[in-house]
Amino acid sequence: MSEVLVLIDHVEGAVRKPTYELLTIAKRLGEPSAVFIGPADQAAEATEKVKKYGAEKVYVVDDAPLKGYLVAPKAEALQQLAEKASPSVILIPSTAEGKEIAGRLAIKLESGLITDAVDVQPSDGGAPVTTQSVFAGSYTVTAKVTKGTPIITVKPNSAAPEESAGAGAVEEFSPTISDAAKTAQIVASQPRKATGRPELTEAAIVVSGGRGTGGDFEPIENLADALGAAVGASRAAVDSGWMPHSFQVGQTGKTVSPQLYVANGISGAIQHRAGMQTSKTIVAVNKDEEAPIFELVDFGVVGDLHKVLPTATEEINKRKG
Amino acid sequence: MNIVVCVKYVPDATADRQFESDNTVDRVGVDGLLSELDEYAVEQALQLKEKAEGDDVTVTALCVGPEKAVDAVRKALQMGADKAVHVTDEAIAGSDYVATSLVLAKAVEKVGAEALSDSGGVDLVVCGMASTDASGSVVPAMLAERLGLPQVTLASVIETQGDQVRIKRDGDTATEVIGATMPLVLSVTDQSGEARYPSFKGIMAAKKKPLETWSLGDIGVEADQVGLSVAWTEVEETTARPPRTAGEIVTDEDGSGATALTEFLAAKKFI
């Protein structure tokens, strides 16, 4: 069976959940080979994790010669690895950086690129069939790559990670990085502060606040904590300076597709819908009964979030005992 | 200094966007406009021009698309770009990321070659963070790859000093400061600063600004390198998502909303 390369998404060796989803997808398509690009001394920790999700091989690329430069060196490393391993498919997490790596890789490998897949399935003897959700979630598109090695970026929550023991055979790979790839320098890097809550794009439940919060996110955060949810915000709330941009759900922020999305004081403009419309269950609390968000909901409360949320939070905490 | 701003003509997101029978995006039957996210790119290019004051800066708006797509560069001219190039050719229809980035790269090279005599090529290619239709966010990186230029992308803050560029990039897990030397490809986010509206004066002035139309032949791209038939990806099917069935809406009266909400969440086993 041919190899399917999966680029590991990790922070300082800590593997992020979408990697397991990609490995689960890779197993459907062939033999999963995980690619770790990072400090050599963090590779062992990552290897232990990915072999539990079916990685037969783990290519370790020591990032010492790549570090400090944006995107381009990683694309070069993957190109050289792909030329050596001749994988049948390359899966990359649909993060901002992942997509940029994928774009450059597509040109280097003269291969077709599909971004933001929400599902990838094998097809008889051909390239895998991807599903994408487009136009703010109003259309579903199935597609496949017709040239070269299919390069597919996959969104978080696209598969339920399935544990499956893989051999996890480590193979070190040392790419040759050109000077041309070292032209955009990372001068400084400030890791995002941990919130203690689930990662927004990975969370099963997201509780969001918008203009209607008036800048007070306490009721949102309290409800989120009662439900074990991540906190999100609309563009209006971010533009008002109430929440950092990393919390923004929408076209120019994060796209989320949780089991439950609770929109509070959010009108439901297209910019926001684009980021949450594919959520399984949608709930909204809004003072304005005409708010377009109510067109999307499974359950809606017309009312003041500052009254509804604290009471609901109290009741939820009581039920949880 | 020469700045090229890449702008895309997209179907209006507030209209009912749809696909053609060949599964390409309907770019003619639905009202289109300059992609909102590219307005931020135009804005940043104009701010760089204004900051340069005495220095000679030319901002060229570049758009690839069907006949109607000229509206996108017109808007950029109204906002304050100096000139515009519209690359249009029937063969381009249905192009994927790979082909689109090829056409853009060749057009940028041509703008650079024409400017070469007076100022030494293109110094800066500015893009938006993503288009509002495909929202792939990959073309700026692909352009940098094709042009062999540094990629300085997803900037929320842009600072320049001479030919040095520094940006703040809000990455997935960290906020980074990226530095590079021009020429380079820059992409900017919607956090980079509100885009200006065209003034009446700007709208009038735009009518007199140079607007060139180039075909594939003009930029040295063969028709069989682009378009739907040679795309490296193929759409099999496009399906409109069924409308969400109307949910239950209750009006809160003295705490009834909170109770109903809690009961709904419990019934769905979220508690």
Task: Please answer whether residues B247 and A298 qualify as being in contact, where contact means their C-beta atoms are separated by less than 8 angstroms.
Answer: yes
Write the residue in A104, A252, A296 that is nearest to B244 by C-beta.
Answer: A296
Over residues A55-84, the mean pLDDT reads 97
Q: Which two structure tokens, joined as six digits, stand for B42?
A: 């135009």
Task: Please answer whether residues B173 and B156 qualify as being in contact, where contact means their C-beta atoms are separated by less than 8 angstroms.
Answer: no
Task: Please answer whether residues A175 and A72 qualify as being in contact, where contact means their C-beta atoms are separated by less than 8 angstroms.
Answer: no
pLDDT higher than 70, residue B118: no
Residues 143-202 of A with CB under 8 A from B: 143-148, 180, 183-192
In chain A, which residue's Cα lies nearest the Cα of B238?
A141
| Number of C-beta neighbours around residue A190 at 10 A | 11
pLDDT digits (tens, 9 = 90+) for B211-266: 999 999 999 999 999 999 989 999 999 999 888 888 999 999 999 999 999 999 99
Rounded to the nearest angstrom, the minimum Cα separation between A25 and chain B is 20
**pLDDT confidence band for B206 (50 / 70 / 90):** very high
In chain B, which residue's Cα lies nearest the Cα of A155?
B136
ipTM of the complex: 0.94
CB contact under 8 A, B152 and A184: yes
**pLDDT confidence band for A126 (50 / 70 / 90):** confident
pLDDT digits (tens, 9 = 90+) for A228-283: 999 999 999 999 999 999 999 998 899 999 999 999 999 999 999 999 998 999 99
CB contact under 8 A, A142 and B235: yes
Write the residue in A129, A183, A311 that is nearest to B180 by C-beta.
Answer: A183
CB contact under 8 A, B239 and A129: no
**pLDDT confidence band for B134 (50 / 70 / 90):** confident
| Number of C-beta neighbours around residue B132 at 10 A | 25
Chain B residues within an 8 Å CB radius of A222: none
Q: Is A293 an interface residue toward B (CB < 8 Å)?
A: no
Amino acid at the residue A92: I
* Buried b / exposed e along B72-93 (16+ C-beta atoms within 10 A): bbbbbbbbbbbbbbbbbbebbb
pLDDT digits (tens, 9 = 90+) for A6-18: 999 999 899 999 9
Give a three-class secondary structure readout of B55-114. CCCEEEEEEECCHHHHHHHHHHHHHCCCEEEEECCHHHCCCCHHHHHHHHHHHHHHHHHH
Q: Hey, of B24, B151, B153, which one would you mutate to test binding to chain A, going by the most A CBs within 10 A of its CB?
A: B151
| Number of C-beta neighbours around residue B66 at 10 A | 16
pLDDT higher than 60, residue B117: no
Indicate the range of A139-148, A293-302, B116-125 predicted with least confidence: B116-125
Chain A residues within an 8 Å CB radius of B22: none
CB contact under 8 A, B259 and A311: yes
Chain A residues within an 8 Å CB radius of B176: 70, 186-190
CB contact under 8 A, B265 and A283: yes
pLDDT higher than 70, residue A172: yes
Task: Look at residue A137 in the predicted model and tell me its pLDDT.
Answer: 84
A97 sits in which H/E element: helix A96-108
